[in-house]
Structure 1
């Protein structure tokens, strides 16, 4: 057999056995056994093996032994084949698929796979508070550092509004319209979220209506007088500043828009319900546009300050039945009045 024929037969044998990786080295050894030269593999053979006129011809066992030494293969005890060399199929190994690569790389980098964390993991829930008992208003500031301003603030709400300076205040420009709305029983009050597009403008600054809710009795007092209920319409401007319009409620004729809210009350606390009919927001307001104003805070934890309060001077009526409906859910949900601390109060004339 010629050197070329011997090399070709060896390549076919190695290929059939899965020995493609060491092909070049095996071919070089087979060529040297036949006394021929192949420059690409010449340097793989020791010089001592290449010298000498009379040397023993290399057998296939010799070829396997040298190949095993080169590749670090182990001899299989009791096997008819002295050495076994395998080339691992990459489809079964660590680089099987892109997905396995990604997972392996993520593990090597010390991080989890790209799957999201379970919902709710690490969420922060502020402590529960209430309007009476050990979690009532006197304890709010001690429940958590987040509520500290409820006890340490100097511009807290509500207040007894009295001794206001009589001035000509610019009218509140209400841009309210009939709107769809959702009703939420949040565990502290009934809260209404109207559709976007309602706003007020005060002193040239626009505030969008975010939500409104109810308190019983009214949190505000005017010259010491409390009212049956109050609506707080909460607005926010583009910078996140809040302005709250307070509409005082007293017993009298039924209020159709409040009834539309009661009609959409959700059956369970913590749930929300969409009303099938819109609410006429302008009809919630008194006809007299005069108001009192001062700087205060939220009346619930965290009692954040810097809130602009706009308290309408004329009350709106609602029926005793409408008051009783709210009272069955929340008999009392009003924070006690806070110290005025010398704040300036303007009384619009």
Structure 2
């Protein structure tokens, strides 16, 4: 789904305050500014979709009943590599802003990787199961449309690629940055789960302004982080996940 021109200015502002967070009003994951109240936090009504939208994310993926689409996997090609990163604590997550030539193609359209970030616990569920963490890669096409690649994270072996970030100390305070050169940064292509099927569905940003028209691609295969790596993230952020939204009879495809 293409984002209408009237939304492009909003999306540009959203991307400028990554990870896709509007600066219009303070919001959080708990208390009076929690997800239940997001829609009323912006005086201009820009957050109204958080309550009124019918294609919101995240969702509980009913994997046993997903539609099998043979052509879907052939239409997805991800081309990520080792690139300089600006890792920042933005007050809502640890986010890595990406430079360099990182892109993906989906259904004939090219998207450029803008940033990736983490949630704990996971925002999406698989057949009712929630995971310790979730990683999002946010990609944008030249027309402003967005595609988010997601992978659920379980406790297991140390992730040697993400350790490039963890070993530099995750920024502890809001606004703190850690710069990683190309040589210091992880190989983004090697972080992706290998030989995995995917779920595909149309949804929204999982943060205000909850803009819809976002294409989601979720890896079925899980990423692994060690218990220490998960604990290190959770010592900075935990509970930074939006609750699952209603599917509302949306089609969920599986390749």
TM-score by length of 2: 0.85
1:89 is aligned to: none
Q: How does 1:110-125 map to 2 (within 5 A)?
A: 125=23
C-alpha displacement at 1:125, in angstroms?
Answer: 4.6
Q: How many residues are aligned here? A: 225
| Residue 196, structure 1, aligned to residue 100, structure 2 | yes
1:170·1:203 contact (CA, 8 Å) conserved in 2? no
Provide the rounded CA distance (Å) in 2 between the counterparts of 1:296 and 1:125. 22
Partner of 1:283: 190
Give the deviation of 1:266 after TM superposition: 3.0
> Which residue, out of 76, 89, 92, partners 1:185?
89
For residue 268 of structure 1, report the CA deviation from its aligned partner: 3.1
Unaligned runs of 5+ in 1: 1-123
How many angstroms does 1:333 deviate by? Answer: 0.5
Unaligned stretches of 5+ residues in structure 2? 1-21
Q: 1:325 to 1:212 in 2, by over 3 A?
A: same
Q: Which residue of structure 2 aligns with residue 157 of structure 1?
A: 57
Contact 1:170/1:202 (<8 A) preserved: no
Residue 325 (structure 1) aligned to one of 232, 235, 241? 232
Larger radius of gyration: 1
Q: Secondary structure at the match of 1:150?
A: helix
Aligned partner of 1:341 in structure 2 is: 248
RMSD, matched Cα:
1.3
Q: Deviations over 1:59-87 (max 9, x none)?
A: xxxxxxxxxxxxxxxxxxxxxxxxxxxxx
List 4+ stretches of structure 1 deviating above 3 A. Answer: none
Distance 2:78 2:238 in 1: 31
Give per-residue Cα distances to partners, 1:156-186, cap 9 Å, x unaligned.
0000111211121233211111111110100
Bigger strand share: 2
The residue aligned with 1:166 is 68
Q: TM-score, normalised by structure 1?
A: 0.63
Task: Select 1:240's aligned residue among 144, 147, 165.
Answer: 144
Deviation at 1:203, TM superposition (A): 1.1
> What is the CA-CA distance between 1:267 and the residue it aligns to?
4.9
Deviations 1:302-338 (A, max 9, x none): 0000000000010011101000001111121000000
Offset, 1:148: 0.6
Q: Helix, strand or coil for the counterpart of 1:261?
A: helix
Where does residue 62 of structure 1 map in the other structure?
Answer: none
Q: Does 1 or 2 have the higher relative contact order (CA < 8 Å, sep 6+)?
A: 2
Structure with more helix by fraction:
1
What is the aligned partner in structure 2 of residue 295 from structure 1?
202
